[in-house]
């Protein structure tokens, strides 16, 4: 029995079908199913970055936007640990894992920062509390105690009773996929893996041993 999600995808949306030539519709089909079936944070992805000397670090972030050309966008503080690593080494790896679907997608590629206009537009959609948090938090810096954070949040709230401006260091980064790999669970650990690699001629498909 196939232990991965039992889905009704069109052939072009099934990364393992011979008719799938573009991984992006497949990505959207899988995350679409995850948004229905995965109880928590279906948009959460592990984001790996590395220092200029190649020392890696990883943490979860939320996928907030995708673009037709294969850009995957998340928002964060550019002065955080990940932000500093991205500045020094603008390459990243992403990994989605949907436990209840027994599926994984890995994405790798270079990063660019989104435009201030795009970051403003997304910031405006956030709840006021999240906007306050973005201003109050020196993400990844040492914090002496929680009271300091709460005092800073209260100060920001009284300073901006109405519209909260986006701090310039709170921004988005787009991972421009060079590779997208789909994994689904199969019996006896004979899992399926399909790697899509971007080439000047389009996406190239490679089956991989599990």
Ligand X SMILES: Cc1cc2nc3c(=O)[nH]c(=O)nc-3n(C[C@H](O)[C@H](O)[C@H](O)COP(=O)(O)O)c2cc1C
Q: Which residues bind ligand X (CB under 6 A)?
A: 41, 44, 57, 59-62, 74-76, 80-82, 139-140
Tokens of 105: 């997608």
Q: How far is CA 196 from CA 21, 123, 154, in A?
A: 9, 32, 48
- Whose Cβ is closer to ligand X: residue 156's or residue 194's? 156
Which of 69, 89, 70, 93 minimizes the C-alpha distance to 81? 89
What three-state secondary structure class fits 24?
Answer: helix
| Residue number with CB closer to ligand X (44 or 95) | 44
Minimum Å gap between C-beta 7 and ligand X is 24
Q: How far is the CB of 175 from ligand X (least distance, A)?
A: 13
Based on CB atoms, which residue is closest to ligand X, 24 or 46? Answer: 46
Nearer to ligand X, 107 or 194 (CB): 107
Considering the complex, what minimum distance in angstroms separates the CB of residue 2 from ligand X? 28
In the complex with ligand X, the residue whose CB is nearer, 118 or 140, is 140
Q: Which candidate, 42, 77, 102, places its Cα nearest to that of 173?
A: 77
What one-character DSSP code corresponds to residue 127? Answer: -
Closest approach of Cβ 190 to ligand X, in Å? 31
User: Do 142 and 149 touch, CB atoms closer than 8 A?
Assistant: no
DSSP conformation letters of 121-158: HHHHHS-HHHHHHHHH--TTS--S-HHHHHHHHHHHHH
To the nearest whole angstrom, how small is the minimum distance from the Cβ of residue 146 to ligand X? 16
């Amino acid at each position: 029995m196939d232990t991965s999600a039992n889905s009704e995808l069109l052939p072009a949306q099934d990364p393992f079908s011979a008719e799938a030539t573009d991984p992006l519709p497949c990505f959207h089909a899988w995350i679409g199913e995850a948004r229905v079936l995965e109880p928590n944070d279906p948009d959460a992805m592990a984001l790996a970055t590395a220092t200029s000397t190649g020392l890696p670090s990883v943490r979860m972030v939320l996928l907030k936007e995708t673009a037709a050309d294969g850009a995957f966008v998340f928002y964060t503080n550019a002065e955080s640990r990940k932000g500093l690593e991205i500045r020094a080494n603008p390459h990243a790896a992403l990994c989605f894992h949907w436990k209840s679907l027994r599926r994984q997608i890995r994405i790798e590629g270079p990063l660019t920062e989104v435009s201030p206009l795009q970051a403003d537009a997304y910031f405006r959609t956030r709840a006021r509390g999240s906007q306050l948090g973005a201003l109050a938090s020196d993400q990844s810096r040492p914090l002496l105690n929680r009271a300091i954070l709460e005092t800073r949040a209260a100060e920001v709230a009284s300073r901006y009773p109405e519209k909260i401006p986006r701090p310039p260091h709170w921004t988005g980064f787009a991972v421009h996929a060079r590779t997208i790999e789909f994994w689904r669970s199969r019996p006896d650990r004979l899992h399926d893996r399909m790697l899509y690699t971007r080439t000047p001629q389009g996406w190239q498909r490679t089956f991989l041993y599990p």
